[in-house]
């Protein structure tokens, strides 16, 4: 009797492939329609808003709308190419961060009307409110962002890691991550007990914290800084492990509980918020990559809530009470985004008024020697942010300001420099994405890609390549330590199983 099962199986497999291809084609067609609607909607909205705005406000609204259109075009291009929103992507995280750091100050200045608000960054009070001058910085942001987007899309091309599964994570690797987390927390507790130092202390107690830190031995302080920096990397590693177990209700509950505890701790203690924000971003990106694609409306809602929470927490730990908070003064009162803008605006004004003084050559070249220890350099290693405090005459007085890419540009080639920096970043991040697509199944490649993505906001908040410092001094050491512990566990486990005549289980899901 003839056996028809292979032919039937082949036909079934062929039919399933055809159905899958048809489904993918329909998804791409739908994505292209949505992408076209997004671009068209942003253009129509921009035209409507610019025509309905008059006076000096139009100066401020125009670059803001251009920034929004650039984000829409970037999103639409990748949406139509890949058939889904580009959420888990280094380029997207950089574009989003640049947009937020550029748009929030402009929104605040629009809300102020035609004069500085009462609680504005006091460095701005030295200059008149000039909507045209302020708007030029918005156009600088748009030029920088547009250059990055154009080059990134060109280098990235149509490559996506949407369907690449993550390789099973070995049990010794999971155990190594847990051990490192436990050691880090034990060290943190020991510092709290031994020196009374809690680095999660509220901002209102910063002076007391600084005084206690000054009493620590220098070597111990340096070790402590490294240990604290390692926390974010190992927490991201745990997120990646747990998100792969999302189908298990137990692991889903644990993951969500960890995130809730992080957010509540920030809200209650009124201390630093960066780690909690970065963990939430990491979770959203990993959820999109390994669970299900995140829809545009949830990205928009989540983004607005995250920025609002960031601003509100910053104001409550500083100048305002909950009763005093309104939408207007949440934007107009001095905040992270306004402060970064003010540094570049202040330097620009000082330079053009001729009161800036000589700028050390190291400020222009800081990206090139950033990673080299001072002991190995034949010249003084100057941090641009510290140099700016010298310009203000407030170094050592317990305050600090970020020195971002716009500050670099206004001291250098200005508009031309922004084009160069945006293009170089576009090439670097586009190449990184293409590298990741080839290694998307690797645990460490995925963790590295995520790490660079969530720290990409430092390309705008600090000097262009400051994020490389985090890679070299945070990610790489943590990876080496975890892999060393994993190797020790693997060797010990193999010896134990070998003595029993057992076979080592390669991995666990």
Q: What is the CA radius of gyration of the chain?
A: 25
Domain that holds residue 349: 12-165+330-465
What are the DSSP calls for 66-90, one per residue?
HHHHHHHHHHHHHHHHHSS---S-H
* The pLDDT of residue 10: 56
Q: How many CB atoms lie within 10 A of CB 377?
A: 11
Residues 6+ apart with CB under 8 A from 231: 184, 275
Contact 211, 324 (CB under 8 A): no
Could you tell me if residue 35 is inside a domain?
yes
Going by the DSSP 8-state scheme, the letter that residue 378 receives in this structure is S
Helix axes 415-438, 131-156, angle to 10 degrees: 30
d(CA 481, CA 487): 10
d(CA 28, CA 162): 13
Could you tell me if residue 266 is inside a domain?
no
Place of tokens 């035209």: 47
What are the DSSP calls for 7-50, one per residue?
HHHHHHHHHHHHHHHHHHHHHHHHHHHHHHHHHHHHHHHHHHHH
Mean pLDDT, 10 residues at a time, the chain of 509 residues: 52 56 68 83 88 86 95 92 89 96 93 87 92 95 97 89 81 91 87 73 61 71 78 92 90 90 78 82 93 90 87 71 68 88 95 90 84 77 88 79 92 94 96 94 95 94 90 91 90 56 46
Could you tell me if residue 395 is inside a domain?
yes
* The pLDDT of residue 491: 80
Could you tell me if residue 211 is inside a domain?
no
* The pLDDT of residue 16: 55
Burial 127-147 (b: 16+ CB within 10 A, else e): bebebeebbbbbbbbbbbbbb
Within a 13 Å sphere around the CA of 460, how many CA atoms are in the beta-carbon half?
A: 27
Is the Cα torsion angle 306, 94, 230, 164 positive or negative in sign? positive
Is the Cα torsion angle 325, 329, 330, 336 positive or negative in sign? negative
CA 277 to chain centre: 9
Residue 93 in tokens: 């995280």
Helices (H) and strands (E) in the chain, counts: 20, 0
* The pLDDT of residue 505: 47
How many structural domains is the chain composed of? 1
Could you tell me if residue 106 is inside a domain?
yes
Contact 457, 178 (CB under 8 A): no
Q: What angle do CA 448, 275, 79 make, to 5 degrees?
A: 55
* The pLDDT of residue 504: 43
Could you tell me if residue 224 is inside a domain?
no
β-strand partners of 508: 169
Contact 433, 159 (CB under 8 A): yes
* The pLDDT of residue 192: 78
Q: How many CB atoms lie within 10 A of CB 419?
A: 18
Could you tell me if residue 494 is inside a domain?
no
Phi, psi for 508 (deg, rounded to 5) = -130, 150
Could you tell me if residue 107 is inside a domain?
yes
Residues 6+ apart with CB under 8 A from 42: 68, 69, 72, 73
């Amino acid at each position: 009797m003839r056996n028809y099962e292979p032919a039937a199986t082949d036909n079934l497999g062929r039919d399933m492939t055809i159905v899958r291809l048809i489904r993918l084609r329909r998804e791409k067609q739908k994505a292209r329609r949505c992408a076209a609607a997004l671009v068209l909607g942003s253009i129509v909205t921009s035209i409507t808003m610019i025509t309905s705005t008059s006076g000096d406000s139009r100066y401020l609204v125009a670059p803001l709308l251009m920034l929004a259109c650039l984000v829409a075009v970037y999103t639409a291009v990748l949406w139509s190419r890949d058939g889904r929103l580009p959420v888990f992507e280094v380029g997207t995280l950089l574009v989003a961060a640049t947009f937020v750091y550029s748009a929030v100050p402009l929104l605040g200045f629009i809300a102020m009307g035609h004069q500085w608000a009462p609680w504005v960054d006091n460095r701005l009070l030295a200059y008149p409110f000039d909507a045209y001058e302020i708007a030029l910085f918005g156009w600088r942001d748009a030029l920088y962002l547009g250059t990055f987007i154009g080059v990134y899309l060109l280098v990235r091309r149509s490559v996506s890691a949407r369907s690449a599964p993550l390789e099973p994570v070995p049990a010794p690797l999971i155990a190594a991550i847990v051990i490192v987390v436990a050691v880090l927390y034990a060290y943190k507790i020991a510092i709290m007990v031994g020196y009374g130092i809690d680095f999660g202390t509220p901002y209102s107690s910063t002076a007391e914290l600084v005084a206690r830190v000054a009493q620590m031995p220098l070597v111990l302080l340096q070790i402590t800084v490294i240990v604290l920096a390692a926390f974010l990397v190992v927490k991201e590693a745990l997120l990646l492990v747990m998100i792969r177990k999302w189908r298990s209700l137990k692991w889903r509950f644990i993951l969500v509980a960890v995130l809730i505890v992080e957010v509540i701790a920030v809200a209650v203690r009124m201390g630093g918020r960066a780690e909690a924000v970065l963990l939430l971003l990491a979770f959203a990106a990993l959820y999109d990559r390994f669970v299900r694609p995140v829809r545009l409306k949830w990205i928009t809602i989540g983004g607005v809530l995250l920025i609002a929470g960031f601003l509100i927490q910053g104001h409550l730990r500083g100048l305002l009470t909950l009763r005093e908070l309104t939408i207007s003064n949440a934007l107009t009162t001095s905040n992270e985004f306004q402060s970064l803008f003010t540094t570049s605006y202040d330097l620009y004004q000082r330079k053009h008024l001729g009161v800036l003084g000589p700028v050390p050559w190291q400020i222009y070249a800081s990206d090139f020697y950033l990673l080299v220890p001072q002991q190995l350099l034949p010249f003084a290693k100057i941090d641009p942010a510290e140099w700016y405090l010298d310009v203000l005459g407030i170094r050592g007085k317990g305050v600090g300001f970020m020195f971002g890419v716009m500050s670099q540009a206004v001291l250098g080639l200005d508009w031309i420099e922004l084009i160069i920096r945006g293009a170089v970043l576009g090439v670097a991040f586009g190449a990184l994405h293409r590298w990741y697509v080839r290694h998307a199944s690797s645990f460490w490649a995925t963790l590295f890609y995520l790490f660079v993505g969530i720290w990409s906001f430092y390309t705008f908040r600090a000097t262009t390549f400051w994020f490389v410092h985090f890679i070299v001094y945070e990610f790489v050491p943590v990876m080496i330590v975890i892999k060393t512990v994993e190797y020790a566990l693997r060797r010990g486990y193999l010896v134990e199983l070998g003595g029993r005549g057992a076979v080592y289980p390669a991995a666990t899901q």
